């Protein structure tokens, strides 16, 4: 029997009478004459019922006519009319291009590819082309429908024909168009007959499937070749099943046979010499001349194999992205295009899920040091990414972190399996038995981690395979579990793998520490770690829900992108509103100069809150809060601000003076949310709650900043910590901590009445709406308690004696207005104290004192000589004096504005930036 196709090689098939009697379809009642019409020889070749010899004979020219020739009984591949004296040149004269399905997805794009090929100045070139976009999936769908006995496979086949017919009509004309359409129809007829056979059998062998699916590349290669010739460039098209020989493996992959492929390529070229060759990707043949495919991503593999066979100068992979990204840009919007990657780096990133190349694509070109360039067909000006052997000077002293860690990749939907037991230690063959069992169920081990104690072996597998793995391990090691030699076989589901990839990364001190610190500061818990001695990657396993945050955290830490922090503002009042305005004015500068991206994801007051998925427009926050605000709900607010997995770090900024808000700090810190606040209530509240809060903060990588609680924008807390951390011993802290009371007593001079000065301070905005909140001294006492606790004293607020400036009869006044109206009645008492001080050359000042030596604190009105620093203040300045063992003779003085929305908001802003620095922003 002889079958022919204008596009496929003609085949001959000799069936013995015994073979014919054994045919499967005879049992189905199908006539042998029907079978002879529908089965190309190459597919029947796989059947154990048949013993056949075959040949394929081609004659190529402009019209690509094929001979319907007699069979060649020898199994050796042959070509009619081969010109023996034409040698295949090799080396730098060749360049290889590969265009994927997207690149040739439409007739217009095929035309664009033809233009690129025409413009390429290489002396010789091979262009490997995939099937048109979606065609491979359409072909697989044909097979699925046919073997499912779904009659719609006929309609689907018509759609395949129509797609290529329309492309041909757009691209070609005249005889070329007529010739292609004729060949296309002949192939469709053959495919229809083959699919009918699959329909009857209800099954398709791998050979049948490979033969059907490979037609997409045959058609696209011929269309492109015709388009290139139309541009005036002489070219030949190659069915790579005539050239590439591969050996299928048990792992659903194939291994190229380079020796046989090279022999066939030389014979093919001898018969079809050309400087431009359009070759089919994806398809090949077995040593038995049975059509097969290179499996998924096979076209890239085809290009790499052709590059190796020709020892080409370069292999260019054309795709729809500008190159290889440092991370998945869908997860890390700041991901950057990498200019170069070593073969090993590309290999590692590909294995761990990066959209680079299949790892096997890199193998053929490494032998000859052939660079691979990833280019964007839709952005020809982009330089792309070059994958090549790394040069030694790339890692000289002074290198930056980003040159060491080239990129990050992730694998989702994996599960950890932990086999643990004391009986494993020192027992040869335990690991072998574990992984032999895993192999028996066909599971793929993605990562392995084992402690040196040999007490446990931990490995990751795809989540869909973990049940089978767990079942086989429990069955295989049932006796060991019963006897106690193994304590458990545990499965940890819902995991993801994060890999950091970079040449010589592990040999550079600090890189691993930086990686793990970035994860810790983002509150990411690491489930398992693996690192090979090749030093190309560090792999960690994290919770699936933490994967994107982990990826963004490490990407940001290595200066590949900005340090992004999700900000929630609680209390958009005077201080909170001023802070939002300051953030608005500084956001662009922070991004441009300091690589810090502060995104306010939510603003909440007592009644209304405003939420945003990408960040609130701070130029309109008041308008948006009023127009689009919703009912305030603290739990929903926190969940929203914290819930964006694309932002690894979150900070809550409490700008209120509310003790209820302060009670949330512990829960926020426990969830990995950083806290910045000028609110004094948490640090001056009940001692046990304060100690619990500080213990949690010290034991975690979550930060709690509260500089503005004591001195607004003055560096009081940081100065005190600096003294303690450097070994100094605090003896006494004394200061004027209230900007309001500083203003009042700086202006309480001469014959001015105390009530008059208080009224003036109230009108100027220095006091609280109710001046009694300032005059009571409680606010100063809270600052004293904060500093006392920072100094190591465990005091309660009730332990601090407070001299209140609110006259006893007025403490129960019904309103601030009533208080102010009656305050002049009590001016004389303070006027008398002022006069007594002036008579001795002194002034009155309202101070707070932390007496560390005696373990106590006080808040009271004291007298100081006019030469004392406390007497030199003006306006609403604060002043704090630190007496320590180092500063015993002359205290360390911190002085400056201590009140007002601008300086307080500035102090809070400074804490936010300090947090950004701790989280990885450059200092």
Backbone conformation region of residue 554, classed left if phi is above 0, alpha if psi is from -120 to 50, else beta: alpha
Distance of alpha carbon 461 from alpha carbon 471, whole angstroms = 14
Distance of alpha carbon 642 from alpha carbon 602, whole angstroms = 10
CB 68 within 8 A of CB 39: no
- C-alpha distances (whole Å) from 687 to each of 240, 480, 788 are 79, 53, 12
CB 708 within 8 A of CB 908: yes
Tokens matching residue 684: 């001056």
What long-range pairs does 888-891 form, CB within 8 A, spacing at least 24? 888/731, 891/732, 891/734
Distance of alpha carbon 675 from alpha carbon 304, whole angstroms = 53
Mark 91-126 as b/e (b = at least 16 C-beta within 10 Å): eeebbbbbbbbbbbbbbebbbbbbebbeeeebebbb
**Angle between the N-to-C axes of helices 547-557 and 511-521, in degrees from 0 to 180, rounded to the nearest 10:** 130
Determine how many CB atoms are found less than 10 A away from the CB of residue 780: 24
- C-alpha distances (whole Å) from 753 to each of 309, 331, 745, 759, 830 are 100, 65, 11, 10, 9
Where does residue 20 rank: exposed (0-12), middle (13-18), buried (19+ CB within 10 A)?
Answer: middle
Backbone conformation region of residue 852, classed left if phi is above 0, alpha if psi is from -120 to 50, else beta: alpha
| Marked catalytic residue, from 681, 783, 856, 866 | 783
CB 788 within 8 A of CB 884: no
Distance of alpha carbon 222 from alpha carbon 238, whole angstroms = 9
Tokens matching residue 99: 């265009």
- β-pair type (892-897, 563-570): unpaired
- Rg of the chain over Cα atoms, rounded to whole angstroms, equals 39
Distance of alpha carbon 874 from alpha carbon 896, whole angstroms = 10
Distance of alpha carbon 696 from alpha carbon 215, whole angstroms = 64
- β-pair type (124-129, 276-280): parallel
What long-range pairs does 157-166 form, CB within 8 A, spacing at least 24? 157/188, 157/191, 157/192, 157/195, 160/135, 160/188, 161/185, 161/188, 163/132, 163/135, 163/138, 164/132, 164/219, 164/223, 166/107
Backbone angles phi, psi at 894, to 5 degrees: -120, 125
Which residue(s) pair with 3 in the sheet? 11
Distance of alpha carbon 401 from alpha carbon 239, whole angstroms = 46
Cβ-based neighbours of 339, under 8 Å, separated by 6 or more:
323, 383, 385, 386
Mark 627-651 as b/e (b = at least 16 C-beta within 10 Å): eebeeeeeebbbebbbebebbbbbb
Determine how many CB atoms are found less than 10 A away from the CB of residue 832: 10
SS3 assignment, position 816 = helix
- β-pair type (528-531, 385-388): unpaired
Which residue(s) pair with 811 in the sheet? none
Residue 783 bears catalytic tag: yes
> Which positions are annotated as active-site residues?
783
């Amino acid at each position: 029997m002889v079958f022919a196709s204008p596009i496929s090689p003609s085949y001959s098939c000799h069936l013995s009478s015994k073979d014919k009697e054994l045919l499967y379809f005879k049992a189905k009642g199908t006539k042998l004459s029907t079978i002879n019409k529908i089965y190309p020889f190459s597919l029947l070749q796989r059947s154990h019922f048949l013993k056949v010899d075959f040949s394929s004979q081609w004659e190529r020219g402009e019209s690509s006519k094929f001979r319907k020739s007699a069979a060649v009984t020898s199994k050796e591949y042959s070509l009619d009319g081969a010109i023996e004296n034409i040698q295949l040149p090799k080396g730098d004269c060749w360049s290889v291009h590969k265009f994927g399905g997207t690149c040739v997805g439409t007739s217009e794009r095929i035309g664009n590819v033809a233009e690129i090929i025409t413009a390429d100045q290489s002396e010789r070139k091979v262009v490997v082309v995939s099937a048109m976009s979606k065609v491979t999936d359409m072909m697989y769908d044909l097979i699925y429908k046919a073997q499912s006995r779904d009659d719609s496979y006929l309609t689907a086949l018509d759609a395949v024909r129509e797609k290529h017919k329309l492309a041909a009509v757009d691209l070609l004309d005249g005889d070329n168009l007529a010739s292609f359409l004729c060949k296309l129809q002949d192939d469709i007829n053959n495919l229809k007959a083959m699919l009918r056979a699959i329909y009857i059998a209800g099954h398709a062998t791998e050979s049948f499937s490979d033969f059907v699916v490979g037609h997409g590349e045959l058609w696209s290669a011929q269309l492109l070749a015709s388009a290139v010739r139309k541009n005036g460039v002489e070219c030949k098209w190659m069915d790579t099943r005539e050239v590439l020989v591969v050996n299928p493996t048990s792992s659903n992959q194939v291994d190229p046979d380079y020796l046989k492929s090279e022999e066939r390529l030389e014979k093919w070229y001898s018969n079809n010499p050309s400087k431009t060759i359009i070759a089919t990707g994806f398809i090949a043949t077995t040593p038995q001349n049975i059509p097969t495919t290179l499996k998924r991503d096979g076209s890239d593999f085809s290009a790499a194999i052709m590059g190796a066979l020709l020892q080409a100068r370069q292999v260019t992979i054309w795709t729809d992205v500008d190159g290889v990204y440092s991370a998945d840009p869908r997860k890390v919007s700041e991901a950057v295009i990498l200019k170069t990657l070593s073969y090993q780096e590309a290999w590692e990133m590909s294995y761990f899920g990066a959209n680079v190349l299949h790892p096997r694509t890199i193998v053929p070109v490494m032998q000859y040091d052939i660079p691979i360039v990833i280019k964007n067909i839709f952005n020809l000006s982009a330089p792309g990414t070059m994958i090549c052997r790394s040069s030694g000077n790339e890692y000289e002293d002074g290198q930056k972190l980003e040159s060491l860690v080239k990129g990050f990749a992730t694998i989702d939907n994996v599960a950890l399996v932990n086999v643990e037991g004391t009986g494993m230690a020192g027992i040869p063959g335990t690991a072998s038995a574990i992984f032999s069992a895993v192999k028996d169920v066909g599971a793929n081990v993605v990562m392995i981690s084992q402690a040196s104690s040999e007490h446990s072996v931990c490995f990751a597998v795809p989540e869909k395979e973990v049940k089978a793995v767990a079942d086989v391990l429990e069955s295989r090691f049932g006796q060991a579990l019963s006897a106690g030699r193994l304590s458990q076989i545990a499965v940890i589901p819902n995991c993801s793998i994060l890999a950091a990839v970079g040449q010589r990364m592990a040999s550079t001190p600090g890189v691993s520490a930086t990686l793990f610190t970035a994860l810790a500061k983002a509150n990411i818990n690491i489930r398992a770690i693996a690192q090979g001695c090749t030093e190309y990657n560090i792999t960690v396993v994290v919770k699936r829900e933490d994967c994107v945050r982990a990826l963004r955290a490490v990407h940001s830490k290595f200066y590949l992108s900005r340090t992004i922090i999700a900000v929630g503002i609680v209390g958009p009042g005077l201080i909170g509103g001023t802070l939002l305005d300051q953030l608005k004015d500084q956001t662009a500068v922070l991004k441009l100069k300091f690589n810090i991206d502060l995104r306010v994801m939510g603003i909440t007051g007592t009644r209304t809150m405003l939420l945003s998925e990408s960040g609130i427009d701070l130029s309109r926050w008041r308008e948006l809060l009023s127009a689009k605000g919703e009912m305030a709900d603290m739990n929903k607010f926190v969940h929203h601000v914290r819930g964006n997995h694309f932002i690894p770090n979150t900070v809550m900024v409490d700008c209120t003076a509310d003790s209820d808000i302060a009670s949330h700090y512990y829960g926020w810190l426990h969830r990995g949310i950083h806290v910045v606040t000028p609110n004094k209530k948490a640090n001056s509240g009940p001692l046990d709650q304060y100690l619990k809060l500080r213990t949690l903060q010290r034991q975690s990588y979550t930060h709690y900043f509260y500089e503005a609680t004591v001195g607004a924008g003055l560096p009081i807390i940081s100065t005190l910590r600096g003294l303690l951390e450097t070994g100094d011993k605090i003896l006494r802290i004394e200061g004027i901590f209230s900007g309001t009371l500083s203003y009042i007593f700086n202006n309480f001079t001469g014959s001015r009445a105390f009530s008059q000065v208080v009224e003036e301070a109230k009108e100027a905005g220095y006091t609280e709406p109710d001046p009694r909140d300032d005059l009571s001294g409680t606010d100063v006492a809270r600052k004293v308690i904060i500093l006392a606790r920072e100094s190591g004293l465990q005091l309660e607020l009730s332990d601090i004696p407070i001299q209140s400036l609110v006259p006893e009869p007025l403490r129960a006044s019904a309103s601030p207005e009533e208080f102010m109206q009656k305050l002049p009645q009590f001016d004389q008492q303070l006027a008398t104290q002022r006069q007594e001080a002036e008579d001795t050359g002194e002034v009155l000042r309202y101070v707070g004192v932390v007496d560390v030596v005696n373990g106590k604190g006080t808040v009271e009105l004291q007298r100081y000589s006019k030469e004392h620093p406390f007497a030199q203040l003006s306006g609403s300045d604060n002043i704090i004096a630190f007496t320590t063992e180092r500063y015993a003779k002359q205290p360390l003085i911190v002085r400056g504005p201590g009140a007002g929305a601008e300086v307080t908001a500035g102090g809070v802003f400074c804490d936010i930036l300090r947090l950004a620095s701790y989280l990885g922003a450059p200092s």
